[in-house]
């Protein structure tokens, strides 16, 4: 994987690899119609 240089990208990559932080972020910041379609209880990190 290429090195991430942008600090904003680094923050989100790190935050989204933490399951509870990712769940809260997706629940709170996605449009409700999108968030309702997700089953956030069965998430798992899949490295790119």
Per-residue pLDDT of the chain (48 residues; tens, 9 = 90+): 567 678 878 888 888 888 888 889 988 999 999 988 888 887 776 776
- Residue 26 has, within 13 A of its CA and on its CB side, a CA count of 18
pLDDT at site 4: 66
Q: How many CB atoms lie within 10 A of CB 13?
A: 13
pLDDT at site 1: 57
Angle at the Cα of 12 from the Cα atoms of 35 and 42, rounded to 5 degrees:
40
pLDDT at site 8: 77
* Interatomic CA distance for residues 17 and 12, integer angstroms: 8
How far is CA 31 from its chain centroid?
Answer: 14
pLDDT at site 39: 85
Contact 33, 25 (CB under 8 A): no
């Amino acid at each position: 994987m290429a090195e991430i240089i942008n600090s904003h990208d680094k923050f989100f990559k790190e935050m989204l690899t933490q399951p509870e932080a990712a769940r809260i972020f997706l629940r709170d910041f996605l449009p409700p119609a999108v968030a309702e379609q997700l089953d956030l209880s069965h998430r798992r990190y899949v490295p790119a």
